[in-house]
């Protein structure tokens, strides 16, 4: 005989779940106000200076020196130079007012760096001005894609889950998705990562993952609606459905999140910050997606259906 399923009363803690989510959203907003939002140079425009060097340099010292000369925040990235030999590369990225960065200031910065590291054979390779046009177009296209996907998802869920008031189910799924995207955004802000192409990749990845988890639970709610007594409350219907999918959701999430954590650990060891700005926010987004699919979307749907007077399975069947 199969082991009897333990029905957990998720809906009894509905207000706690919503309070936790509200606190998370407030933290993201507060982080934006306190820490500010770092926008990548491809989105706001600026200048990129590329240097070659040998040996080791302290990126913290380079950042302090560059800030003092350029009088603006800078981003330092290092890597291996192309070609043979032991040369390494370093880029200094920054935004400044038009006309404020002159050849004299560029020469002063290069001379100061060479004086700071006289034994590192530091040489300026190139100086490039970056216009924000292409980056902004990419950003807007991603936003349009996300909005279009949201509308299509609402319509799809409304049609697929008509038996459980499909339109409300679709809207609740999108609200849960918005919750997950805010969690990822807050991670970018609080961790000090730049809003760049990685940010858009994280959002689009979470979009698919979070909605898939929510739809698994919706599908179970729809199937249980056919099987359960008409006098069964909507809350009991949801509690049973979430309990039945709980093990599957946790196992899937643990597998995915563990992979991202391993990637993050390797990136820390190898000092690859570009991967960290993808893996860490995505990990948080995946955790949030698992949480919202069980504790946000179904809870908002319960609240919505009860406000419409549909408190039992029978009510749902009568008002399809």
Q: If one looks up domain 46-130 in CATH, what number appears?
A: 3.30.70.260
pTM, rounded to two decimals: 0.80
pLDDT at 2: 44
Q: If one looks up domain 10-37+134-318 in CATH, what number appears?
A: 1.20.1640.10
pLDDT at 183: 93
Mean local confidence (pLDDT), 287-294: 92
Confidence of residue 280 (pLDDT cuts 50, 70, 90): very high
- Domain 10-37+134-318 and domain 46-130, same fold? Reply is no
Enumerate the domain spans of the chain: 10-37+134-318, 46-130
Backbone angles phi, psi at 309, to 5 degrees: 85, 10
pLDDT at 164: 75
Share the mean pLDDT of the chain: 84
pLDDT at 187: 93
CA quadruple 110, 114, 115, 117: dihedral positive or negative? positive
pLDDT at 37: 84
pLDDT at 93: 86
Mean local confidence (pLDDT), 119-130: 86
Q: Is the pLDDT of residue 135 over 70?
A: no
Helix (H) or strand (E) holding 185: helix 166-191
Give per-residue burial for 276-285: e unless 16+ CB within 10 Å, then b: bbbbbbbbbb
Residue written as token pair 């038996």? 163
Q: Is the pLDDT of residue 320 over 90?
A: no
Q: How far is CA 165 from CA 125, 148, 153, 313, in A?
A: 62, 22, 15, 11
294 touches 238 (CB < 8 A): no
Mean local confidence (pLDDT), 219-233: 88
**Per-residue pLDDT reduced to its tens digit, 177-219:** 999 999 999 999 998 888 888 888 888 888 878 888 888 899 9
Q: Is the pLDDT of residue 12 over 50?
A: yes
> 94-103 — which CB contacts under 8 Å span 24+ positions?
94/41, 94/46, 94/47, 94/66, 94/70, 95/41, 95/44, 95/45, 95/46, 95/47, 96/46, 96/47, 96/70, 96/71, 96/72, 101/47, 101/70
**Per-residue pLDDT reduced to its tens digit, 73-103:** 888 888 766 555 567 888 888 887 666 678 8
Better-predicted residue by pLDDT, 225 or 145: 225
- Report the C-alpha gap between 156 and 302 in whole angstroms: 20
> 71-79 — which CB contacts under 8 Å span 24+ positions?
71/96, 72/96, 75/41, 75/194, 77/273, 77/274
pLDDT at 184: 92
Please state, for a pLDDT cut of 90, what percent of the chain lies above it.
Answer: 25
Confidence of residue 295 (pLDDT cuts 50, 70, 90): very high
């Amino acid at each position: 005989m199969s082991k009897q399923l333990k029905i957990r009363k998720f809906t009894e803690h509905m207000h706690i779940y919503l309070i936790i989510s509200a606190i998370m959203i407030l933290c993201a907003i507060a982080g934006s106000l306190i820490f500010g939002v770092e926008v990548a140079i491809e989105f706001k425009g600026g200048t990129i200076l590329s240097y070659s060097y040998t040996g080791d340099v302290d990126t913290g010292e380079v950042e302090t020196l560059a800030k003092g000369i350029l009088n603006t925040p800078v981003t330092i990235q290092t890597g291996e130079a192309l070609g043979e030999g032991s040369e390494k590369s370093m880029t200094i990225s920054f935004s400044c007012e038009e006309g404020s960065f002159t050849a004299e200031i560029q020469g002063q910065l290069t001379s100061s760096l060479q004086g700071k590291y006289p034994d590192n054979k530091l040489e300026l390779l190139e100086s490039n001005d970056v216009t924000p046009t292409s980056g902004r177009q990419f950003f807007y296209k991603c936003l349009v894609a996300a909005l279009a996907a949201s509308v299509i998802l609402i319509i799809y869920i409304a049609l697929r889950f008509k038996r459980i008031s499909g339109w409300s189910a679709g809207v609740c799924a999108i609200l849960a998705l918005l919750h997950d995207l805010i969690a990822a955004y807050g991670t970018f802000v609080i961790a000090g990562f730049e809003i760049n192409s990685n940010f858009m990749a994280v959002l689009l990845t979470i979009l698919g993952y979070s909605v898939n988890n929510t739809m698994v639970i919706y599908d179970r709610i729809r199937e249980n609606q056919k099987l359960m007594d008409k006098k069964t409350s909507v809350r009991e219907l949801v509690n049973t459905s979430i309990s039945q999918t709980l093990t599957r959701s946790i196992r899937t999430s643990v597998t995915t999140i563990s992979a991202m954590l391993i990637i993050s650990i390797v990136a820390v060891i190898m000092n690859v910050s570009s991967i960290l700005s993808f893996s860490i926010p995505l990990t948080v987004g995946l955790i949030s997606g698992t949480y919202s699919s069980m504790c946000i979307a179904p809870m908002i749907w319960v609240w919505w259906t009860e406000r419409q007077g549909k408190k039992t399975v029978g009510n749902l069947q009568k008002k399809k």
